[in-house]
Amino acid sequence: MTQHREHRNRARSSRALALVLVLTASYTVAEIVGGLLTGSLALLADAGHMLGDSSALGLALFAAWLAGRPATPKRSFGYRRAEILAALANGVALVAIAIWVFVEAIRRLDHSPRILGGWMLAVALVGLAVNLASASILVRAGDDNLNVQAAFRHVLADLAGSAGVIVAALVVLTIGWQQADALAGVAIGILILASSWTIVRDSIAILLEATPAGIDAREVGLRMAAAEGVVEVHDLHIWTITSGFPALSAHVLVGRGEDCHARRRTLEQMLAREFHLEHTTLQVEHVGEPRRRIQLTRAIRRSGP
């Protein structure tokens, strides 16, 4: 059931990414043409931004396809981590885009060519509609997939870009102040940089196999150690394979007269019910059994009688 749900969620995410890629790439072409015809550097800069986002979406879609490939003896989890690598690449790309926007904004403060404000506004309004449609598609796809989150942040950056161009176009049309483009660029760059932080942080945390957000490893260990028949829990590890796929492994010591298999099933049910940890690997042993282990974490012992 879990694998079926995961496959269904991945298919939904892939369809959403593909549709957003078509919308974004199509508008990028239109924006390049509009920028050339109107002489608007703002539109051309935003088109470059959209082109980078289209490339990132294509990378995300390719990574989602890789993640769906079956596991092999050499890659027991398949290519699931490809989604995380793509998300990290998307986050780094956002940082690069923000830096480029800052540099471009400084250049525009020194020299702002005359543009056709009316046509600039029209093209930017179309871009706003396209980005709103893309954001709606990604929201419906769900927020438990880190790759979709990365794409969604790209779309939010595109929305900020369109809004900035619209504001700049309105200022140019009403008072003729060309430097409005540069100030809008700085604001857009700050928004892009802010949106990149979360996705880079979360991607690196997963790649470093940190405990998933929202799960307290100590609380999990104490809850396991408090289960009936359990004496000690050690070598407890909780990490994330890929978006929405947390995993747990641990060594569990039970009393001499306990049924190891029954205690393991009870612990697995508790972990799934209380912590949504469904992919678990538990090595259950009786107290005093000869065993060879490496103590990586401090043992958590059952308190009380």
Domains of the chain by residue range: 2-207, 217-301
Report how far Cα 99 is from the mean position of its chain's Cα atoms.
21
**Side chain identity at 282, as an amino acid letter?**
L
* pTM of full prediction above 0.85: no
* 4-8, 66-70, 212-216, range with greatest mean pLDDT: 212-216
Partners of residue 247 on adjacent β-strands: 239, 279
- The predicted structure's pLDDT at residue 292: 42
Q: Residue 240's CB: how many other CB atoms inside 10 A? A: 23
C-alpha closest to that of 224 among 252, 244, 200? 252
- The predicted structure's pLDDT at residue 133: 92
Q: For 147-168, what is the mean pLDDT?
A: 83
- How would you label 170-192 residue by residue, b for 16+ Cβ within 10 Å and e otherwise? ebbeeeeebbbbbbbbbebbebb
59-73, 130-144, 172-186: the lowest-pLDDT one = 59-73
More confident residue, 278 or 69: 278
- The predicted structure's pLDDT at residue 178: 75
**CA atoms within 13 A of residue 280's CA, in its CB half-sphere:** 23
> What fold characterizes domain 217-301?
GMP Synthetase; Chain A, domain 3 (3.30.300)
CA distance 233 to 236: 7
Find where tokens 């490809």 sit: 82
The answer to whether residues 300 and 216 touch, using CB atoms and an 8 Å cutoff, is no
For residue 295, give the DSSP letter: -
- The predicted structure's pLDDT at residue 263: 94
Q: What is the pLDDT of residues 215-231, one digit of tens each?
A: 999 999 999 999 999 99
Question: Which option is the CATH number for 2-207: 3.90.1150.10, 2.60.40.1180, 1.10.1370.40, 1.20.1510.10?
Answer: 1.20.1510.10
Q: What is the pLDDT of residues 41-76, one digit of tens each?
A: 778 778 777 877 787 778 767 766 776 677 777 777
The answer to whether residues 75 and 145 touch, using CB atoms and an 8 Å cutoff, is no
CA distance 187 to 185: 5
Helix (H, G, I), strand (E, B) or coil at 278: coil
Q: What are the backbone angles phi and psi of residue 29, rounded to the nearest 5°?
A: -60, -45
